[in-house]
Structure 1
Amino acid sequence: MLTKIDNTIKYGKQHGGFGIQILYPGLVRPEKQDTGLYTIGRIDHARITPGTLIPMHPHRNDEIITYLRTGNVKHLDATNKTDIISNQRLMVMNAGGSFFHEERVLAEGGVLEGLQIFIRPDTADLPPQVQFFQLTEIYSTNLWRKIAGKGDGFPLQLRSHTWVMDLRLEKGEVILLPDAPSENCAFLFYVFVGKITVNDAMPLASGESVLMENEEPKFRADETSDIVLFMTQPNSEHFDKGMYSGNLHL
């Protein structure tokens, strides 16, 4: 089954220089009464002006991926760990029972555009930790690249049956899904920016996505496009009451 998720399903928030479009992917399956899609709780597509400070705040029971395409961010957390996040340096906060952090968008790097992705952990109240990873290249052109997930080969580890990959698909190129990292996976193909046609029939624009279960579609780039791919195991055990990844019962 192929299910298109267009931009009308998103919730928009704007406060000063901080703007996000929030995707609750489970809303495409209202009969399940869950704002998340299996282990994928929420995806925020953010656009934030330089100088914006997101002050120290908590997270609980979320696995949080910060994936930037533009902008530089200075990270500081309650353990006094600090680092710079960019389009080549990604971060995962495994919040566990409690994790506090703040983020400041730096002047160098310009306007931030990226995703903050809230994944549901296998179980509640795990030990908190933070991870960083330096990409060798900003983009992976026409090849799927592993970003975050459970198990070997994924540079940023998630305590969840969830896996994230990305690529830049050049105009006119066609690609298939990568091999699933586990049995019985569902796939969510998210167009960060660009235009994609699925199976020569379904157009996807920037910010839109398609949910795939038991399908092997082909994707053609109508213009050079940046893609983020989410894979989740529908039958895996997971905690669905996280601070942001949890079910909101909208």
Structure 2
Amino acid sequence: MENIVLHKADTRGNANHGWLNAYHSFSFASWYNPDRVQFGTLRVLNDDTIAGGMGFGTHPHDNMEIITIPLEGDLAHKDSMGNTEVIKNGDIQVMSAGTGVQHSEFNPNEDKQTKLLQIWVFPNKRNVEPRYQQITLNPDDRDNKLQQILSPNPNDAGVWIHQDAWFHLGKFEAGKSTNYELKKEGNGLYFFNLKGEVTVNGQELSDRDGLGITDFKTLEIKANTDAEFLLLEIPMEQKY
């Protein structure tokens, strides 16, 4: 029997600092909800808008896989591993924080905002050597199909992390549908609807709604309008 957890967009935590307007699907910073601490090994899903010229100063992380997906505008990244990069819509970036890394993230454009998703996943190995990876995706590869953007395998499509996780992006026209089969038994799936109206295993979702599903065989996804979404398959149990 499948288990479903529905997170409507307006139930997320929100912190609007002026320069940063952040929506939290799971407890983060000053927003704490005991029922929304994590979903399996998925710890953070932040939906951030950063004002022009603003950003996060240098701060530390350790033992976390940190994935950044820009949705609009640019993000300038600098870290203690010596990486100085700009990531933009169409890119995906991952940092394995491992034994410890420091980084800063800024919107380099004074005249336009930056929108991004930042996702934290607990790793399956502690204290690994920190690493950085950034690639540019081909958005055509998600037209009416699922585009793999992350996996556990360095030789597979997308970036890789230290966890048995698979992420996919989809951009579907109204009326189109697809199915998703779990890659690994025992994993769960968190579906984050970026925009449009979709039905997932009978559950209707709108802009920025989230849906966690476990104990299912097949995920049935139908776009009721033109829609874009992110699928996160992640282990439900934390193992090192």
Question: If the TM-score is normalised by the length of the shorter chain, which range does it land in?
Answer: 0.7 to 0.9
What amino acid maps onto 2:172 in structure 1?
L
Matches within 5 A, 1:97-136: 97-107=99-109, 110-136=112-138
| Shift, 1:6, TM fit | 1.3
Contact conserved, 1:70 with 1:109, CA < 8 A, in 2?
A: no
Structure 1: distance between partners of 2:13 and 2:192: 16
The alignment's TM-score, normalised by the length of structure 2, stands at 0.87
Secondary structure of the equivalent of 1:237? coil
* 2:205 matches 1:204: yes
1:140 aligned to which of 135, 139, 142 = 142
1:172 aligns with 2:175: yes
1:209, CA displacement in angstroms? 1.6
Gaps of 5+ in 1: 239-250
When normalised by structure 1's length, the TM-score is 0.84
Deviation for aligned residue 1:46 = 0.8
Per-residue CA deviation, residues 24-44 of structure 1 (Å, 9 max, x unaligned), is 28x9994xxx71111111100
User: Residue 159 of structure 2 aligns with which residue?
Assistant: 156
Q: Does 1:232 align with 2:234?
A: yes
Alignment-mate amino acid for residue 115 of structure 1:
L
Query: Shift of residue 158 of structure 1?
Result: 0.6
Tell me the alpha carbon deviations over residues 60-87 of structure 1, each in whole angstroms, 9 at most, x when there is no partner. 1110000011111111112332111011
Counterparts in 2 of 1:213 and 1:159: CA distance versus 1, 3 Å: same
**Cα displacement (A) at 1:155:** 2.4
Instruction: Mark the CA change 1:127 to 1:190 in structure 2 (over 3 Å): closer, same or farther.
Output: same
> Contact 1:39–1:162 (CA<8 Å) still a contact in 2?
no
> Pairwise CA RMSD of aligned residues?
2.3
Match of 1:241 in 2: none
2:195 paired residue number? 193
Match of 2:214 in 1: 213
Gaps of 5+ in 2: none
Cα distance in 1 between the residues matched to 2:191 and 2:63: 25
Partner of 2:14: helix, strand, or coil? Answer: strand
2:182 and 2:61 mapped to 1: Cα distance? 30
Regions of 4+ moved over 6 Å: none
Partner of 2:92: 90
Q: Distance in 2 between matches of 1:206 and 1:90?
A: 21
Please tell me whether residue 54 in structure 1 is matched to residue 56 in structure 2.
Answer: yes
Identity rate of aligned residues, in percent? 20
* Count of residue pairs the alignment pairs up: 232
